[in-house]
Structure 1
């Protein structure tokens, strides 16, 4: 009888602990999506915080200098929408459009400085990072997050004031 009582007590404790854990997780707000629009993209600069290849490994070329992360600044100049790449070796920008929530990057331009490694690889990786499906959401702290996903990688950018 003593062993049965111990087993019942352990089962009761385990069930209670699992239920409490589920309640804690359930109470956290889930990330919320928002529409990808020019206004939403242009409201902030977007600083890269994470980029993973399809195999789950970090895109190391994008993180060689943590003090100078890739930052995207979406802007409009005299009716032309473009994105500027900040912290790249070459001065880089590209036109873009948002059609039905899909961002299309086009006509990239760049200075042609002969950048040494690892800066040259950073510039190339930066151009690849902006190609993909864009989504905007807010994290649990209600801060905007820009995600760009392609078949090769997923990159997350946090919103920073311009």
Structure 2
């Protein structure tokens, strides 16, 4: 059944059919890509949205390694499926495209990206290589497991393989709550039960209206006794972050009952200038 990829439930599981038997080693070329597993009749949508998909291998139709997609020296290309689309990160610009899932076929619409200038040749090369291959209709297969494997066979014959890492929503078992936090330029001394002489981030909630205008009436600063996953504070820099806040089920003693995960940096300012 043909449909747009919906907002994906992060912790649903799927079952996949057994993989296609491998080719006879006597007749198959040694450089040939692994056979694409048979697609399951089950819905792939929930599993696509439950993981970050990180590229681990890329081969062309003849089985040769696609070096342009596997350039070393940084984070691998990553796909995230959400709200009827797919985004690509860890290239120069963030790339987005619409997605339609039709059984074992994934149709990706024209790619749209931010327009940030890129001086890093590795990142620029990754962006060109994935931008050339992302749009189109691809065959999809997912092999389940603790680290599920996603395989895409592009309409040009390339075979791309991705390993899945659970999203925060999958790890914490909920969609979380979106909040905005302002982070003060300097940390402050705070009384942490497990860490002596701890210095905490100073934070306060921020509100925006529907037009994206910050609302007046800032709250008082308060120490945050935990890290924000994905965020690295630099002394002297003020930030406003969009984060997802999750309830932690059965946290250990003296551990926080909520977790904060960075979604995006909304504002960043060097307060020392």
TM above 0.5? yes
Shift of 1:115: 2.2
Among 69, 80, 99, the alignment partner of 1:73 is 80
Count of aligned residue pairs for this structure pair? 126
Cα distance in 2 for residues equivalent to 1:67 and 1:143: 21
What displacement does 1:142 show? Answer: 5.7
Structure-2 change in CA distance of 1:100 and 1:71 (3 Å): same
| Cα distance in 2 between the residues matched to 1:66 and 1:58 | 17
Aligned-CA RMSD value: 2.2
5+ long unaligned stretches in structure 1: 1-30
**Is 1:97 matched up with 2:100?**
yes
1:52 matched to 2:55? The reply is no
CA distance in 2, matches of 1:153, 1:64: 17
Tell me, in whole angstroms, the C-alpha distance in 2 between the residues paired with 1:99 and 1:65: 34
**8 A Cα contact 1:36 1:98, kept in partner:** no
**Aligned counterpart, 1:109:** 112
**2:87 matched residue in structure 1:** 84
1:134 to 140, 143, 148: 140
Match of 2:13 in 1: none
* Rounded Cα–Cα distance in structure 1 between residues aligned with 2:74 and 2:44: 29
Q: Is the 8 A contact 2:118 2:124 kept in 1?
A: yes
* More RCO (CA 8 Å, sep 6+): 1
2:46 to 10, 30, 39: 39
The Cα shift of 1:33 comes to 5.0
Does structure 2 conserve the Cα–Cα contact (< 8 Å) formed by 1:36 and 1:134? no
More helix per residue: 1 or 2?
Answer: 1
Per-residue displacement from partner, 1:16-51 (whole Å, max 9, x unpaired)? xxxxxxxxxxxxxxx785345221210111111100
8 Å CA contact 2:104–2:139 kept in 1: the answer is no
Moved more, 82-91 or 60-69: 60-69
Give the structure-2-normalised TM-score.
0.42
Task: Describe the SS at the equivalent of 2:111.
Answer: strand
Distance 1:103 1:160 in 2: 20
Q: Unaligned 5+ residue runs, structure 2?
A: 1-36, 168-273
Runs of 4+ aligned residues of structure 1 deviating over 4 Å after TM superposition are none
In the superposition, the TM-score normalised over structure 1's length comes to 0.68
